[in-house]
Amino acid sequence: MSLDRIQSGLLSLYGVEFPSKERKVIDLARISDGWETDVYSFAVEHGADAEQKRDELILRIYPGENATQKAEHEFSTMKQLGEVGYPVPRVLLLEQNSALLGRPFVIMERIIGRSMGVISDESPIERKLELLTQFCRMFADLHTLDWRPFAPDPSLYETRDMSEIVGRQISQWQDTVDAFQISAFDSVFSWLREQLPDVRCGTPSVLHMDYHPYNILMREDGAAFVIDWTSSDISDYRLDLAWTLLLMSTYGSPESAKFVLDEYGRAAGHSIEQIAYFEVVACLRRLFSILISLGAGAEKLGMRPGAEAMMKDVGHIESVYALLREKTRISIPEIDELLLTLHYNDGH
């Protein structure tokens, strides 16, 4: 979508909020090309010269299938998080009608700062460890929130054992894979179902499901805010933790993942048991998302067009696949074939 189209849509939107001619939409710029949303920064100036105000804002546009539900989900989750005092940007507007910009969108306050990941990349080891400690403390704080205000129907969780809730999530993912007539992961789904009765599950938690240092923005004063809540859910906290460990180990290093696991346990005040099971769940989720997106298009999984190109990271796929094989002793011919194809294309 062109910047001119977005600029025109925002002018129409703020023309309703500020009917006078004394308002401007300025400094519109694309700032992110993530897997799931298109993100822009902009500012709105309104009021007479003597009393002019400037609002620094973020626009998140939701592509793909189920875009309307994703926009509503992220908006309501962030609104509730703000109300209970968890550090997120303040959400200001949900627009589910696609008439203005062609797709649903959310507008929220802009946090002026940089991501924790970027700051860590530029920092000496002592500062890196400080940031990771803060990262883990915020993660543990999320999982200890009262989950009930975030559940449309709390009874669905209160009347079921947590292992049943985890099993339901696994079944939903299998339904997604089956809808694309992909049988590559049947053996992994079977392994997870066979192992689940031996997994001790606790109480529900609010989950982010894509928690990593580049999804935390830090202001100059050190205040940190968690962004990107499109995949948030309620389930066993280890689903969330295992996903983060997978990202840390495959995009970073096994040592950083080990530090996060240990530090999270200290922040939470308890040991982390049976995390290996949830690491298999995380590997499965990553691999089937990549395989479906490269075959049918990322939009089919609610991601933005073009996200497929970012998924062709051979090193990352190899690391995820190696971890899956290590934990389950299961090989997936379709992933072997994908890796061969990607290596061949890289060589040509």
Reported as a single tens digit per residue, the pLDDT across 81-120 is: 999 999 999 999 999 887 889 899 999 999 999 999 999 9
Q: Which residues of 243-253 are buried (b: 16+ CB within 10 A; e: fewer)?
A: bbbbbbbbbbe
Q: Are residues 18 and 122 in the same domain?
A: no
Which of 109, 144, 170 is the C-terminal boundary of a domain? 109
Specify whether 102 is located in the same domain as 37.
Answer: yes
Check whether residue 94 and residue 119 sit in a common domain: no
Q: Please tell me whether residues 189 and 316 are part of one structural domain.
A: yes
Q: Are residues 245 and 326 in the same domain?
A: yes
Contacts of 314 (CB under 8 A, 6+ apart): 339, 342, 343, 346
Residues 101 and 164 in one domain: no
Q: Are residues 206 and 342 in the same domain?
A: yes
84 and 223 assigned to the same domain: no
pTM for the full predicted model: 0.92
User: Are residue 71 and residue 168 in the same domain, yes or no?
Assistant: no
Q: What is the CA 64 to chain-centroid distance, rounded?
A: 15
- At 246, list the tokens: 């997978």
pLDDT at 78: 98
Residue 308, pLDDT score: 58
Query: CA-CA distance, 107 to 109, in Å (whole number)?
Result: 7
Same domain, 137 and 203: yes
Q: Provide the number of structural domains found in the chain.
A: 2
Q: Quick one: average pLDDT of 71-79? A: 97
Last residue of a domain, one of 83, 109, 135: 109
Q: Are residues 225 and 86 in the same domain?
A: no
User: What CATH number did the domain enclosing 182 receive?
Assistant: 3.90.1200.10
- Express each pLDDT in 279-301 by its tens digit: 999 999 999 999 988 876 655 56
Domain containing 318 equals 114-347
Query: Which domain-ending residue is among 61, 89, 109?
Result: 109
> Both 145 and 75 in a single domain?
no
Show the tokens assigned to 45: 């100036």
CATH at residue 19: 3.30.200.20
